[in-house]
Amino acid sequence: MSKTLKYILIGLGSVLGLFILGFVILNIMIASAFGAFDKDYSVSDLKEEYFSKEKEIDDLILYFKEIKPKDKSIAIEFRDSKTLSRLRINSKDSTRAIFQQWDIPVKNLFNSELSKHLSWNDEKVKLLKTKLDNANCISIEDGEPIKVGFKRSGMGMYSFNIFQDKMTDGNNFNDSCQYILVSRK
């Protein structure tokens, strides 16, 4: 075999090897984004988690309703004590978001744009984060039912939908797939 052919084959083999390696890495990244390596929670795991933290979740909801502006609908998710994964503020009479952003430093909640919508101070935000931590949760979203985010799984989230109004038809939340209705009452 000639020396030139040998170098061409080595070069092609190297390029092919890098292509295959890149393909494997890309597939791992995509699988990770969709939660392939995250913990899966069974229905019994989620029930157990909810019932073990029911009082803390109820305290969280009461506090959230207390600090939330009455004319706004709020969805907030904490990444940690210094960063929000997401924040959405809607007017109650509109589905259009007044404010929606991801990866927000908590200190930005006190700037003029957000403070006019939320009127929250540092103590209120810290207490909300503490109540979420006590409930072993990461987010809360206003509505009927109130949605309390438990854990992220890729781009999705395990969450608890907690009905506030006894007249709400829970059958809309019982498809045994996305929603699994659990009630002790």
Residues paired with 101 in a beta bridge: 87
pLDDT class of 61 with cuts at 50, 70, 90: very high
Residue type, 28: I
* Cβ-count burial 96-126 (b if 16+ within 10 Å, e if not): eeeeeeeebebeebeeeebeebbebeeeebe
Look over the chain and give the mean of its residue pLDDT values, rounded to a whole number. 84
What's the pTM value of the predicted model, to 2 decimals? 0.76
pLDDT of 182 strictly over 70: no
Q: How many CA atoms lie within 13 A of 154 on its CB side?
A: 12
CA–CA separation, 69 and 177 (whole Å): 33
